[in-house]
Structure 1
Amino acid sequence: MSIGNSPEDDRPSSEEERPSIGRVLQQARISSGLTVDEVSATTRVRIPIVHAIEQDDFARSGGDVYARGHIRMIAHAVGLDPDPLVAQYDSEHGGRPAPTPAAPLFEAERIRPEPRRPNWTAAMVAAIVAVVGFVGFTFFNGEDDGGKKRQVAEGPAAEEKPQPTKATNTKPADPKPDPSDGAIAAVPKDKVTVTLSVLEDKSWISAKSHNGKLLFDGTLNKGDSRTFQDDDRIDLILGNAGAIELFVNGKKVEDEFKPGQVERLSYTKGDPEAG
Protein backbone atom coordinates (compact mmCIF):
# COMPACT_ATOMS: atom_id res chain seq x y z
CA MET A 1 0.00 0.00 0.00
CA SER A 2 1.54 3.32 -1.06
CA ILE A 3 1.42 6.34 1.16
CA GLY A 4 0.75 9.70 -0.44
CA ASN A 5 -1.84 12.28 -1.26
CA SER A 6 -5.26 11.04 -2.23
CA PRO A 7 -6.63 11.92 -5.68
CA GLU A 8 -9.08 14.30 -4.01
CA ASP A 9 -6.16 16.44 -2.80
CA ASP A 10 -5.14 17.09 -6.41
CA ARG A 11 -8.54 18.46 -7.38
CA PRO A 12 -8.61 22.27 -8.02
CA SER A 13 -10.61 24.36 -5.59
CA SER A 14 -13.81 26.13 -6.60
CA GLU A 15 -11.90 29.43 -6.80
CA GLU A 16 -9.48 27.89 -9.32
CA GLU A 17 -12.31 26.43 -11.38
CA ARG A 18 -14.10 29.79 -11.65
CA PRO A 19 -12.84 31.75 -14.68
CA SER A 20 -11.51 35.25 -14.12
CA ILE A 21 -13.57 38.37 -14.75
CA GLY A 22 -11.45 39.44 -17.70
CA ARG A 23 -11.65 36.01 -19.36
CA VAL A 24 -15.46 35.89 -18.98
CA LEU A 25 -15.82 39.36 -20.53
CA GLN A 26 -13.39 38.52 -23.36
CA GLN A 27 -15.15 35.25 -24.25
CA ALA A 28 -18.56 36.95 -24.18
CA ARG A 29 -17.26 39.72 -26.47
CA ILE A 30 -15.85 37.22 -28.95
CA SER A 31 -19.07 35.16 -28.86
CA SER A 32 -21.06 38.32 -29.59
CA GLY A 33 -18.88 39.07 -32.61
CA LEU A 34 -17.68 42.41 -31.19
CA THR A 35 -14.25 43.98 -31.37
CA VAL A 36 -12.58 45.89 -28.57
CA ASP A 37 -13.05 49.09 -30.59
CA GLU A 38 -16.81 48.45 -30.85
CA VAL A 39 -17.10 47.77 -27.11
CA SER A 40 -15.16 50.96 -26.39
CA ALA A 41 -17.43 53.00 -28.69
CA THR A 42 -20.56 51.58 -27.03
CA THR A 43 -19.43 51.99 -23.41
CA ARG A 44 -17.14 55.04 -23.80
CA VAL A 45 -14.48 53.12 -21.91
CA ARG A 46 -11.10 53.79 -23.52
CA ILE A 47 -9.58 50.98 -25.60
CA PRO A 48 -6.47 50.47 -23.37
CA ILE A 49 -8.72 50.07 -20.31
CA VAL A 50 -10.89 47.46 -22.10
CA HIS A 51 -7.74 45.51 -23.04
CA ALA A 52 -6.43 45.79 -19.46
CA ILE A 53 -9.70 44.54 -17.91
CA GLU A 54 -9.76 41.54 -20.26
CA GLN A 55 -6.30 40.76 -18.88
CA ASP A 56 -7.64 41.18 -15.29
CA ASP A 57 -5.62 44.37 -14.85
CA PHE A 58 -7.90 46.84 -13.03
CA ALA A 59 -5.20 49.32 -12.03
CA ARG A 60 -5.85 51.46 -15.13
CA SER A 61 -9.50 51.94 -14.16
CA GLY A 62 -8.56 54.53 -11.53
CA GLY A 63 -9.95 52.84 -8.42
CA ASP A 64 -12.52 50.31 -7.26
CA VAL A 65 -15.52 52.53 -8.01
CA TYR A 66 -14.52 53.08 -11.63
CA ALA A 67 -13.49 49.43 -11.99
CA ARG A 68 -16.98 48.31 -10.93
CA GLY A 69 -18.51 50.80 -13.35
CA HIS A 70 -16.33 49.58 -16.22
CA ILE A 71 -17.19 45.95 -15.47
CA ARG A 72 -20.91 46.76 -15.49
CA MET A 73 -20.77 48.74 -18.74
CA ILE A 74 -18.68 46.15 -20.58
CA ALA A 75 -20.90 43.31 -19.31
CA HIS A 76 -24.02 45.09 -20.60
CA ALA A 77 -22.33 45.68 -23.96
CA VAL A 78 -21.48 41.98 -24.44
CA GLY A 79 -24.84 40.70 -23.13
CA LEU A 80 -23.89 39.51 -19.63
CA ASP A 81 -25.47 40.06 -16.21
CA PRO A 82 -22.99 42.38 -14.44
CA ASP A 83 -24.03 41.58 -10.84
CA PRO A 84 -22.15 38.23 -10.50
CA LEU A 85 -19.01 39.78 -12.00
CA VAL A 86 -19.15 42.78 -9.66
CA ALA A 87 -19.70 40.43 -6.70
CA GLN A 88 -16.66 38.41 -7.82
CA TYR A 89 -14.63 41.62 -8.05
CA ASP A 90 -15.67 42.64 -4.52
CA SER A 91 -14.75 39.22 -3.12
CA GLU A 92 -11.32 39.40 -4.78
CA HIS A 93 -10.58 43.03 -3.84
CA GLY A 94 -11.57 43.37 -0.20
CA GLY A 95 -15.36 43.82 -0.42
CA ARG A 96 -17.63 46.71 -1.25
CA PRO A 97 -17.12 50.05 0.61
CA ALA A 98 -19.71 51.17 3.14
CA PRO A 99 -22.17 53.66 1.63
CA THR A 100 -21.65 57.32 2.50
CA PRO A 101 -24.53 58.73 4.59
CA ALA A 102 -26.59 61.45 2.98
CA ALA A 103 -25.79 65.06 3.81
CA PRO A 104 -27.72 66.60 6.75
CA LEU A 105 -29.17 69.16 4.34
CA PHE A 106 -31.22 66.47 2.63
CA GLU A 107 -32.03 64.61 5.85
CA ALA A 108 -33.74 67.81 7.03
CA GLU A 109 -36.09 67.60 4.08
CA ARG A 110 -37.50 64.32 5.42
CA ILE A 111 -38.26 65.75 8.89
CA ARG A 112 -41.92 66.46 9.41
CA PRO A 113 -43.15 68.72 12.23
CA GLU A 114 -45.17 67.01 14.91
CA PRO A 115 -48.89 67.91 14.88
CA ARG A 116 -49.88 70.49 17.44
CA ARG A 117 -52.25 69.52 20.18
CA PRO A 118 -55.55 71.43 20.28
CA ASN A 119 -55.63 74.39 22.68
CA TRP A 120 -58.85 73.72 24.57
CA THR A 121 -58.54 76.86 26.72
CA ALA A 122 -58.43 79.13 23.68
CA ALA A 123 -61.34 77.22 22.14
CA MET A 124 -63.49 77.70 25.28
CA VAL A 125 -62.68 81.43 25.41
CA ALA A 126 -63.59 81.81 21.74
CA ALA A 127 -66.89 79.97 22.33
CA ILE A 128 -67.80 82.22 25.29
CA VAL A 129 -67.01 85.36 23.29
CA ALA A 130 -69.16 84.08 20.41
CA VAL A 131 -72.13 83.41 22.72
CA VAL A 132 -71.86 86.83 24.38
CA GLY A 133 -71.62 88.53 21.01
CA PHE A 134 -74.64 86.65 19.69
CA VAL A 135 -76.75 87.60 22.75
CA GLY A 136 -75.72 91.25 22.47
CA PHE A 137 -76.46 91.33 18.78
CA THR A 138 -79.89 89.78 19.32
CA PHE A 139 -80.71 92.26 22.11
CA PHE A 140 -79.79 95.38 20.15
CA ASN A 141 -81.35 94.05 16.99
CA GLY A 142 -84.62 93.52 18.91
CA GLU A 143 -84.57 97.16 20.08
CA ASP A 144 -84.00 98.38 16.55
CA ASP A 145 -86.89 96.29 15.27
CA GLY A 146 -89.20 97.79 17.97
CA GLY A 147 -88.23 101.32 16.99
CA LYS A 148 -88.93 100.60 13.35
CA LYS A 149 -92.36 99.20 14.23
CA ARG A 150 -93.26 102.31 16.26
CA GLN A 151 -92.16 104.51 13.38
CA VAL A 152 -94.46 102.64 11.01
CA ALA A 153 -97.40 103.03 13.40
CA GLU A 154 -96.84 106.79 13.82
CA GLY A 155 -96.45 107.72 10.19
CA PRO A 156 -95.39 106.60 6.72
CA ALA A 157 -91.84 105.52 6.34
CA ALA A 158 -89.53 107.73 4.36
CA GLU A 159 -88.69 106.60 0.92
CA GLU A 160 -85.37 104.93 0.70
CA LYS A 161 -83.09 106.70 -1.69
CA PRO A 162 -81.07 104.49 -3.96
CA GLN A 163 -77.47 104.41 -2.89
CA PRO A 164 -75.01 105.46 -5.55
CA THR A 165 -72.95 102.61 -6.82
CA LYS A 166 -69.22 102.94 -6.53
CA ALA A 167 -67.06 101.81 -9.38
CA THR A 168 -64.79 99.06 -8.26
CA ASN A 169 -61.32 98.94 -9.60
CA THR A 170 -60.43 95.36 -10.37
CA LYS A 171 -56.73 94.77 -10.06
CA PRO A 172 -55.41 92.09 -12.40
CA ALA A 173 -54.09 89.04 -10.62
CA ASP A 174 -50.36 88.73 -10.42
CA PRO A 175 -48.98 86.15 -12.82
CA LYS A 176 -48.05 82.90 -11.17
CA PRO A 177 -44.33 82.22 -11.10
CA ASP A 178 -42.90 79.55 -13.29
CA PRO A 179 -42.29 76.36 -11.22
CA SER A 180 -38.78 76.19 -12.59
CA ASP A 181 -38.06 79.71 -11.23
CA GLY A 182 -39.02 78.56 -7.73
CA ALA A 183 -36.79 75.49 -8.04
CA ILE A 184 -33.83 77.64 -9.13
CA ALA A 185 -34.39 80.08 -6.25
CA ALA A 186 -34.38 77.20 -3.74
CA VAL A 187 -30.94 75.96 -4.86
CA PRO A 188 -27.85 77.52 -3.17
CA LYS A 189 -25.98 79.67 -5.68
CA ASP A 190 -22.58 78.95 -4.11
CA LYS A 191 -22.87 75.17 -4.65
CA VAL A 192 -23.62 72.72 -7.46
CA THR A 193 -26.75 70.65 -6.82
CA VAL A 194 -27.72 67.57 -8.88
CA THR A 195 -31.07 65.75 -8.44
CA LEU A 196 -31.92 62.62 -10.41
CA SER A 197 -35.02 60.41 -10.45
CA VAL A 198 -35.56 57.01 -12.08
CA LEU A 199 -38.74 57.18 -14.20
CA GLU A 200 -38.59 53.78 -15.90
CA ASP A 201 -36.93 50.41 -15.24
CA LYS A 202 -33.79 50.86 -13.08
CA SER A 203 -30.30 52.26 -13.42
CA TRP A 204 -26.88 51.86 -11.82
CA ILE A 205 -25.57 55.20 -10.51
CA SER A 206 -22.16 56.41 -9.37
CA ALA A 207 -21.68 59.95 -7.99
CA LYS A 208 -18.46 61.59 -6.74
CA SER A 209 -17.55 65.05 -5.43
CA HIS A 210 -14.84 67.28 -6.94
CA ASN A 211 -12.18 65.82 -4.63
CA GLY A 212 -13.01 62.21 -5.57
CA LYS A 213 -15.16 61.42 -2.53
CA LEU A 214 -17.73 58.71 -3.30
CA LEU A 215 -21.25 60.05 -2.70
CA PHE A 216 -23.21 57.06 -4.03
CA ASP A 217 -22.57 53.80 -5.85
CA GLY A 218 -25.49 51.44 -6.43
CA THR A 219 -28.67 50.64 -8.34
CA LEU A 220 -31.81 52.80 -8.13
CA ASN A 221 -35.20 51.30 -9.00
CA LYS A 222 -38.18 52.98 -10.64
CA GLY A 223 -39.48 55.81 -8.44
CA ASP A 224 -36.21 56.26 -6.51
CA SER A 225 -34.45 59.63 -6.47
CA ARG A 226 -31.20 61.03 -5.09
CA THR A 227 -29.82 64.56 -4.61
CA PHE A 228 -26.09 65.33 -4.49
CA GLN A 229 -24.36 68.62 -3.61
CA ASP A 230 -20.77 69.87 -3.70
CA ASP A 231 -18.90 73.18 -3.57
CA ASP A 232 -17.37 72.86 -7.07
CA ARG A 233 -18.33 69.78 -9.16
CA ILE A 234 -20.40 66.58 -9.24
CA ASP A 235 -19.16 63.66 -11.41
CA LEU A 236 -21.80 61.11 -12.50
CA ILE A 237 -21.85 57.74 -14.25
CA LEU A 238 -25.35 56.69 -15.39
CA GLY A 239 -25.66 53.02 -16.38
CA ASN A 240 -29.12 53.42 -17.99
CA ALA A 241 -29.33 57.13 -18.78
CA GLY A 242 -32.58 56.88 -20.74
CA ALA A 243 -34.50 55.92 -17.58
CA ILE A 244 -33.39 59.00 -15.59
CA GLU A 245 -34.81 62.53 -15.23
CA LEU A 246 -31.96 64.91 -14.31
CA PHE A 247 -32.07 68.38 -12.69
CA VAL A 248 -28.90 70.46 -12.31
CA ASN A 249 -28.96 73.60 -10.16
CA GLY A 250 -32.77 73.56 -10.25
CA LYS A 251 -33.06 73.30 -14.06
CA LYS A 252 -34.02 70.19 -16.01
CA VAL A 253 -31.36 68.75 -18.32
CA GLU A 254 -33.00 68.36 -21.73
CA ASP A 255 -30.44 65.93 -23.25
CA GLU A 256 -32.20 62.98 -24.88
CA PHE A 257 -30.54 59.91 -23.36
CA LYS A 258 -31.48 56.51 -24.78
CA PRO A 259 -32.47 53.43 -22.72
CA GLY A 260 -29.41 51.34 -21.88
CA GLN A 261 -27.08 54.20 -22.77
CA VAL A 262 -24.10 54.74 -20.42
CA GLU A 263 -23.25 58.40 -19.71
CA ARG A 264 -20.28 59.93 -17.85
CA LEU A 265 -21.22 63.49 -16.87
CA SER A 266 -19.74 66.36 -14.85
CA TYR A 267 -21.64 69.44 -13.65
CA THR A 268 -20.50 72.69 -12.03
CA LYS A 269 -22.21 75.82 -10.66
CA GLY A 270 -22.76 77.31 -14.13
CA ASP A 271 -24.51 74.25 -15.59
CA PRO A 272 -26.75 72.49 -16.73
CA GLU A 273 -24.34 71.64 -19.48
CA ALA A 274 -23.13 68.08 -20.04
CA GLY A 275 -19.50 67.65 -19.13
Structure 2
Amino acid sequence: MSIGNSPEADRPSVGAALQKARIGAGLTVEEVSTTTRVRIPLVHAIEQDDFSRCGGDVYARGHIRALARAVSLDPRPLIDQFDAEHGGRPAPTPAAPLFEAERIRSEPRRPNWTAAMVAAIVAVVGFVGFTLFTGGDKSGSGPIAVGDANAKPAPAPTRHPSTIKPPVKPDPSDSAVAGLPKDKVTIKVTARDGQSWISAKDANGKLLEDGLLKKGESKTITDKERIDLVLGNAGAVQLYVNGKEVKKVGDKGTVERLSYTPGDPQAG
Protein backbone atom coordinates (compact mmCIF):
# COMPACT_ATOMS: atom_id res chain seq x y z
CA MET A 1 0.00 0.00 0.00
CA SER A 2 1.33 3.43 -0.93
CA ILE A 3 1.34 5.93 1.92
CA GLY A 4 1.39 8.85 -0.48
CA ASN A 5 -2.14 8.03 -1.70
CA SER A 6 -3.74 8.21 1.79
CA PRO A 7 -6.15 11.12 2.61
CA GLU A 8 -3.78 12.32 5.32
CA ALA A 9 -1.00 12.76 2.76
CA ASP A 10 -3.23 14.87 0.48
CA ARG A 11 -4.50 17.08 3.32
CA PRO A 12 -2.60 20.42 3.60
CA SER A 13 -0.72 21.23 6.77
CA VAL A 14 -2.15 23.58 9.40
CA GLY A 15 0.08 26.44 8.31
CA ALA A 16 -0.60 25.90 4.61
CA ALA A 17 -4.36 25.85 5.22
CA LEU A 18 -4.19 29.14 7.14
CA GLN A 19 -2.04 30.79 4.46
CA LYS A 20 -4.33 29.63 1.63
CA ALA A 21 -7.43 30.92 3.43
CA ARG A 22 -5.78 34.27 4.16
CA ILE A 23 -4.84 34.77 0.51
CA GLY A 24 -8.33 33.71 -0.57
CA ALA A 25 -9.85 36.30 1.78
CA GLY A 26 -7.67 39.05 0.29
CA LEU A 27 -5.87 39.77 3.58
CA THR A 28 -2.20 40.56 4.14
CA VAL A 29 -0.10 39.26 7.01
CA GLU A 30 -0.05 42.79 8.47
CA GLU A 31 -3.86 43.01 8.43
CA VAL A 32 -4.23 39.61 10.10
CA SER A 33 -1.64 40.62 12.71
CA THR A 34 -3.54 43.85 13.47
CA THR A 35 -6.90 42.15 13.98
CA THR A 36 -5.59 39.11 15.93
CA ARG A 37 -2.73 40.90 17.78
CA VAL A 38 -0.40 38.07 16.82
CA ARG A 39 3.04 39.45 15.91
CA ILE A 40 3.95 39.50 12.20
CA PRO A 41 7.03 37.20 12.55
CA LEU A 42 4.89 34.70 14.48
CA VAL A 43 2.19 34.72 11.74
CA HIS A 44 4.88 33.97 9.14
CA ALA A 45 6.30 31.16 11.31
CA ILE A 46 2.89 29.51 11.87
CA GLU A 47 2.11 29.60 8.13
CA GLN A 48 5.43 27.72 7.66
CA ASP A 49 4.34 25.17 10.34
CA ASP A 50 6.97 26.44 12.77
CA PHE A 51 5.27 26.45 16.19
CA SER A 52 8.48 26.65 18.24
CA ARG A 53 8.02 30.42 18.77
CA CYS A 54 4.53 30.05 20.27
CA GLY A 55 5.80 29.22 23.75
CA GLY A 56 4.05 25.86 24.05
CA ASP A 57 1.14 23.85 22.63
CA VAL A 58 -1.47 25.77 24.66
CA TYR A 59 -0.41 29.10 23.12
CA ALA A 60 -0.08 27.50 19.69
CA ARG A 61 -3.71 26.35 19.84
CA GLY A 62 -4.80 29.86 20.81
CA HIS A 63 -2.89 31.42 17.88
CA ILE A 64 -4.33 28.85 15.43
CA ARG A 65 -7.85 29.60 16.68
CA ALA A 66 -7.38 33.39 16.31
CA LEU A 67 -5.84 33.18 12.82
CA ALA A 68 -8.52 30.75 11.59
CA ARG A 69 -11.34 33.07 12.70
CA ALA A 70 -9.64 36.04 11.05
CA VAL A 71 -9.67 34.28 7.65
CA SER A 72 -13.19 32.76 8.06
CA LEU A 73 -12.08 29.19 8.78
CA ASP A 74 -13.48 26.74 11.34
CA PRO A 75 -10.62 26.37 13.86
CA ARG A 76 -11.69 22.99 15.28
CA PRO A 77 -10.37 20.73 12.44
CA LEU A 78 -7.06 22.64 12.42
CA ILE A 79 -6.63 22.28 16.19
CA ASP A 80 -7.47 18.55 15.97
CA GLN A 81 -4.87 18.18 13.22
CA PHE A 82 -2.31 20.08 15.31
CA ASP A 83 -2.98 17.82 18.31
CA ALA A 84 -2.64 14.70 16.16
CA GLU A 85 0.70 15.89 14.80
CA HIS A 86 2.07 16.96 18.23
CA GLY A 87 1.23 14.07 20.51
CA GLY A 88 -2.41 14.94 21.29
CA ARG A 89 -3.92 17.12 23.97
CA PRO A 90 -3.11 16.13 27.61
CA ALA A 91 -5.95 14.59 29.62
CA PRO A 92 -7.59 17.01 32.06
CA THR A 93 -6.78 16.60 35.75
CA PRO A 94 -9.88 15.62 37.78
CA ALA A 95 -10.96 18.32 40.19
CA ALA A 96 -10.86 17.63 43.93
CA PRO A 97 -14.28 17.08 45.56
CA LEU A 98 -15.72 20.08 47.33
CA PHE A 99 -17.43 19.86 50.67
CA GLU A 100 -20.85 21.47 50.62
CA ALA A 101 -21.88 23.16 53.81
CA GLU A 102 -25.07 21.88 55.37
CA ARG A 103 -27.94 24.15 54.56
CA ILE A 104 -29.70 25.74 57.51
CA ARG A 105 -33.40 25.10 57.32
CA SER A 106 -35.55 27.95 58.43
CA GLU A 107 -38.28 27.24 60.94
CA PRO A 108 -41.83 27.18 59.53
CA ARG A 109 -43.69 30.41 60.07
CA ARG A 110 -46.56 30.25 62.48
CA PRO A 111 -49.94 31.70 61.46
CA ASN A 112 -50.59 35.24 62.71
CA TRP A 113 -54.05 34.85 64.34
CA THR A 114 -54.12 38.48 65.53
CA ALA A 115 -53.81 39.85 61.99
CA ALA A 116 -56.49 37.42 60.77
CA MET A 117 -58.95 38.58 63.44
CA VAL A 118 -58.34 42.26 62.64
CA ALA A 119 -58.92 41.61 58.94
CA ALA A 120 -62.17 39.79 59.67
CA ILE A 121 -63.47 42.65 61.87
CA VAL A 122 -62.63 45.21 59.17
CA ALA A 123 -64.48 43.12 56.57
CA VAL A 124 -67.61 42.87 58.73
CA VAL A 125 -67.67 46.62 59.48
CA GLY A 126 -67.23 47.43 55.81
CA PHE A 127 -70.06 45.10 54.77
CA VAL A 128 -72.49 46.61 57.36
CA GLY A 129 -71.65 50.16 56.26
CA PHE A 130 -72.13 49.30 52.59
CA THR A 131 -75.53 47.68 53.32
CA LEU A 132 -76.81 50.71 55.26
CA PHE A 133 -75.62 53.12 52.53
CA THR A 134 -77.22 51.25 49.62
CA GLY A 135 -80.49 50.66 51.56
CA GLY A 136 -81.08 54.40 52.01
CA ASP A 137 -80.82 55.07 48.28
CA LYS A 138 -83.66 52.68 47.32
CA SER A 139 -86.45 54.93 48.68
CA GLY A 140 -85.26 57.96 46.75
CA SER A 141 -85.59 56.47 43.31
CA GLY A 142 -87.97 58.39 41.01
CA PRO A 143 -91.10 56.98 39.27
CA ILE A 144 -90.78 55.07 36.08
CA ALA A 145 -92.32 56.75 33.02
CA VAL A 146 -95.23 54.97 31.36
CA GLY A 147 -94.18 52.91 28.38
CA ASP A 148 -90.52 52.88 29.27
CA ALA A 149 -90.67 49.17 30.04
CA ASN A 150 -91.83 48.34 26.52
CA ALA A 151 -89.52 50.82 24.78
CA LYS A 152 -86.95 49.26 22.44
CA PRO A 153 -83.42 50.60 22.30
CA ALA A 154 -82.56 52.61 19.22
CA PRO A 155 -80.47 50.65 16.72
CA ALA A 156 -76.82 51.57 16.48
CA PRO A 157 -75.92 53.59 13.37
CA THR A 158 -74.35 51.51 10.62
CA ARG A 159 -71.37 52.61 8.57
CA HIS A 160 -70.82 51.75 4.93
CA PRO A 161 -67.75 49.53 4.43
CA SER A 162 -66.28 52.04 1.95
CA THR A 163 -66.15 54.73 4.66
CA ILE A 164 -64.20 52.55 7.10
CA LYS A 165 -60.48 53.22 6.74
CA PRO A 166 -58.02 50.53 7.83
CA PRO A 167 -55.55 51.57 10.54
CA VAL A 168 -52.30 52.93 9.18
CA LYS A 169 -49.39 50.68 10.13
CA PRO A 170 -46.02 52.38 10.57
CA ASP A 171 -43.17 51.39 8.31
CA PRO A 172 -40.96 48.85 10.15
CA SER A 173 -37.85 50.79 9.23
CA ASP A 174 -39.36 54.05 10.53
CA SER A 175 -40.32 52.50 13.88
CA ALA A 176 -36.86 50.94 14.16
CA VAL A 177 -35.20 54.30 13.55
CA ALA A 178 -37.50 56.02 16.05
CA GLY A 179 -36.59 53.50 18.75
CA LEU A 180 -32.82 54.03 18.44
CA PRO A 181 -30.95 56.71 20.42
CA LYS A 182 -30.11 59.65 18.12
CA ASP A 183 -26.94 60.59 20.04
CA LYS A 184 -25.31 57.20 19.35
CA VAL A 185 -24.34 55.13 16.34
CA THR A 186 -25.91 51.64 16.28
CA ILE A 187 -24.78 48.93 13.83
CA LYS A 188 -26.41 45.51 13.33
CA VAL A 189 -24.49 42.94 11.25
CA THR A 190 -26.17 39.69 10.12
CA ALA A 191 -24.39 36.84 8.28
CA ARG A 192 -27.34 36.32 5.92
CA ASP A 193 -25.84 34.41 2.95
CA GLY A 194 -22.80 32.79 4.62
CA GLN A 195 -20.32 33.16 7.44
CA SER A 196 -18.31 36.36 7.79
CA TRP A 197 -15.53 37.68 9.99
CA ILE A 198 -16.11 41.11 11.62
CA SER A 199 -13.98 43.54 13.61
CA ALA A 200 -15.25 46.82 15.12
CA LYS A 201 -13.35 49.61 16.92
CA ASP A 202 -14.38 52.96 18.40
CA ALA A 203 -12.92 56.38 17.53
CA ASN A 204 -10.02 55.80 19.96
CA GLY A 205 -9.06 52.45 18.47
CA LYS A 206 -10.62 50.39 21.28
CA LEU A 207 -11.78 46.96 20.09
CA LEU A 208 -15.58 46.65 20.44
CA GLU A 209 -16.18 43.34 18.62
CA ASP A 210 -13.95 40.76 16.93
CA GLY A 211 -14.80 37.26 15.75
CA LEU A 212 -16.50 34.97 13.27
CA LEU A 213 -20.22 35.23 12.47
CA LYS A 214 -21.75 31.94 11.33
CA LYS A 215 -24.61 31.97 8.83
CA GLY A 216 -27.77 33.29 10.47
CA GLU A 217 -25.99 34.92 13.43
CA SER A 218 -26.19 38.67 14.22
CA LYS A 219 -24.21 41.21 16.23
CA THR A 220 -25.36 44.66 17.40
CA ILE A 221 -22.68 47.26 18.24
CA THR A 222 -23.25 50.74 19.74
CA ASP A 223 -20.93 53.68 20.40
CA LYS A 224 -21.41 57.35 21.23
CA GLU A 225 -19.01 58.80 18.64
CA ARG A 226 -17.93 56.49 15.79
CA ILE A 227 -17.57 52.83 14.80
CA ASP A 228 -14.82 51.68 12.41
CA LEU A 229 -15.93 48.37 10.88
CA VAL A 230 -13.98 45.69 8.96
CA LEU A 231 -16.07 42.98 7.23
CA GLY A 232 -14.71 39.76 5.70
CA ASN A 233 -16.80 38.13 2.94
CA ALA A 234 -18.77 41.39 2.79
CA GLY A 235 -21.18 40.17 0.10
CA ALA A 236 -22.75 37.68 2.54
CA VAL A 237 -23.55 40.38 5.13
CA GLN A 238 -26.79 42.30 5.79
CA LEU A 239 -25.92 45.63 7.44
CA TYR A 240 -28.19 48.07 9.30
CA VAL A 241 -26.79 51.44 10.45
CA ASN A 242 -28.93 53.53 12.81
CA GLY A 243 -31.96 51.43 11.80
CA LYS A 244 -31.43 51.90 8.03
CA GLU A 245 -30.27 49.09 5.76
CA VAL A 246 -27.10 49.59 3.72
CA LYS A 247 -28.10 48.13 0.36
CA LYS A 248 -24.64 47.42 -1.10
CA VAL A 249 -21.99 46.39 1.44
CA GLY A 250 -19.56 44.60 -0.88
CA ASP A 251 -18.97 41.49 -2.99
CA LYS A 252 -18.61 37.93 -1.70
CA GLY A 253 -15.07 37.10 -0.66
CA THR A 254 -14.00 40.74 -0.38
CA VAL A 255 -12.93 42.70 2.71
CA GLU A 256 -14.64 46.06 3.29
CA ARG A 257 -13.60 48.81 5.73
CA LEU A 258 -16.43 51.14 6.76
CA SER A 259 -16.88 53.95 9.29
CA TYR A 260 -20.17 55.26 10.71
CA THR A 261 -21.27 58.07 13.05
CA PRO A 262 -24.62 58.93 14.72
CA GLY A 263 -25.69 60.68 11.46
CA ASP A 264 -27.00 59.02 8.28
CA PRO A 265 -25.14 55.89 7.06
CA GLN A 266 -22.00 56.97 5.25
CA ALA A 267 -19.21 54.63 4.22
CA GLY A 268 -15.81 55.75 5.53
TM bucket (normalised to shorter chain) is 0.3 to 0.5
Q: Normalising by structure 2, what TM-score?
A: 0.46
Q: Normalising by structure 1, what TM-score?
A: 0.45
Greater RCO (CA < 8 Å, at least 6 residues apart)? 2
